[in-house]
Amino acid sequence: IQQEEIKRKNEELHDVFERISDAFIALDKHWNIKYINNTALVILNLDHSIIGKNLWEILPMYRDTQVKRDFINVMKSQVPGSFEVEGKITPRWYRISVFPSQEGVSLYAVDITLSRAYEEQLKNSLKQKETLLKEVHHRIKNNLQIIISILNLQSYYIKDPQALEIFRQSQNRIRSMALIHEKLYKTENLNSINLGNYVSDVVRHLYSTYSTNKDVVDISLDLDNIYLDSNTAISFGLILNELVSNSLKYAFPGDRKGNIKIIARKESPNMLFELSDNGVGFPSDIDFRNTTSLGLQLVNTLVDQLNGELVMSNKQGTTFRIGIPYAG
């Protein structure tokens, strides 16, 4: 009765394997075929006469390939594996799952040709979108550069020093945004920029703008490896531009020497940004949160937009500390 039950179970199992649309092959530990279903026979263009024969003799085209090495590793390690294999008999792709046992291995192959083709289409579509997005960033940067050039040309006709300074500040703000788009289209990651590279470029430009001698005012950077998404980077860039500009313009009057230090730290769930100088200090009669200065108004507004927190200290110079939510 027990033998009849085993025979019945085997027949049921055989019937299941013959009904499925995927290929199934059972091999002994010497790679001889113990069982192969009809789907596998059709794929390999074989018949049942191969039962008992060695897999690698029947399929010599796979004998010296990574496929065979992968199968052998599964049998040796007794750890199941899954591999994508290109068919050499039919032009199809298969995901082959290999299940080891003490008696040998079982191979279960699923045709993934259509899914791979779909994935390839998605990759091509994504590549096209990335190319388009790069072009958009490039054009935005160029358009902003045109605006900067127009302001620069217009500034030659301005005689009022105060009006000229307003033009220069506007140029710097636009340039800080243009630099974001330049960084984005020049990187593989179109969604974020490296903070360190960006801050270095902004500082270098502001040194040049204000004709600051590095021997007089030194700017040191101490920045963690932080990446900002494009939206955060635009706001942060404007904040950086205003704070560095303020220090360069007002902290060191005359030939006064000094230092500006810029620090950025990842302290989950925030990014902590600090800009400090050892200059003359922030005027005690001015409330930095309620001032007529457009630059500081921008800083306060942008920090609020970033759901950040801004604190100022006025001891031994001026220090601005900003905490911004950061998920990186």
pLDDT tens digits, one per residue of 127-173: 777 777 777 777 888 888 888 888 888 888 888 888 888 888 888 88
pTM of the model: 0.59
pLDDT at residue 7, as a whole number: 62
Taking the CB of residue 193, how many other CB atoms lie within 10 A of it?
26
Identify the CATH assignment for 2-111 out of 3.30.930.10, 3.30.450.20, 3.40.50.300, 3.90.1170.50. 3.30.450.20
Calculate the CA 136 to chain-centre distance.
Answer: 19
pLDDT tens digits, one per residue of 92-129: 899 999 999 888 999 999 999 988 888 888 887 777 77
The architecture of the domain spanning 193-328 is 2-Layer Sandwich (3.30)
| Neighbour-count burial of 147, counting CB atoms closer than 10 A to its CB (0-12 exposed, 13-18 middle, 19+ buried) | middle
Residue reference for tokens 């008696």: 103
Which sign does the torsion angle of CA 180, 186, 190, 196 carry?
Answer: negative
DSSP tag of 91: S
DSSP tag of 4: H
Mean pLDDT of 48-63: 92
| Neighbour-count burial of 270, counting CB atoms closer than 10 A to its CB (0-12 exposed, 13-18 middle, 19+ buried) | middle
- Contact (CB, 8 A) for 322 and 307: no
Query: With bands split at pLDDT 50, 70 and 90, how would you rate the model's confidence at 14?
Result: low
How far is residue 54's CA from residue 58's CA, in Å, rounded to a whole number? 6
Q: Coil, helix or strand for 160?
A: coil
How far is residue 189's CA from residue 243's CA, in Å, rounded to a whole number? 28
Q: Locate 125 and state its tokens.
A: 């579509």
| Neighbour-count burial of 240, counting CB atoms closer than 10 A to its CB (0-12 exposed, 13-18 middle, 19+ buried) | buried
